[in-house]
């Protein structure tokens, strides 16, 4: 048994993920808390990526208005001929 450093609840060793499959070491945070942390991180990352992408696209549009117009025109032409 060991106490999770996150929720403070004492749980059996099986409730902790192993640090490495070939070693007996286990994480100090229980599986439940670890999963919650992972999904929290995942969603935070998605938001961050979305925001970064949006800012990048916006900056790109502002920096290369002619390029974008040319690209759009080429794309329209390709669509029309298809």
- Contacting positions for Zn ion (CB under 5 A): 4, 6-7, 30, 33
The minimum distance between CB 63 and Zn ion, in angstroms, equals: 47
Identify which of residues 35 and 61 has a Cβ nearer to Zn ion in the complex: 35
Identify which of residues 9 and 55 has a Cβ nearer to Zn ion in the complex: 9
The minimum distance between CB 46 and Zn ion, in angstroms, equals: 24
- Residues 70 and 68: their CA atoms lie apart, in Å, by 5
Contact 27, 17 (CB under 8 A): yes
How many alpha carbons lie under 13 Å from residue 56 in its C-beta half-sphere? 6
């Amino acid at each position: 048994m060991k106490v999770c450093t996150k929720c403070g609840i004492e749980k059996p060793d099986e409730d902790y993920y192993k640090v490495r499959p070939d070693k007996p070491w286990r994480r100090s945070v229980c599986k439940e808390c670890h999963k919650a942390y992972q999904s929290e991180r995942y969603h935070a990352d998605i938001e961050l990526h979305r925001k970064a992408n949006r800012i990048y696209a916006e900056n790109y549009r502002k920096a290369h208005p002619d390029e974008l117009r040319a690209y759009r025109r080429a794309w329209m032409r390709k669509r029309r001929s298809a």
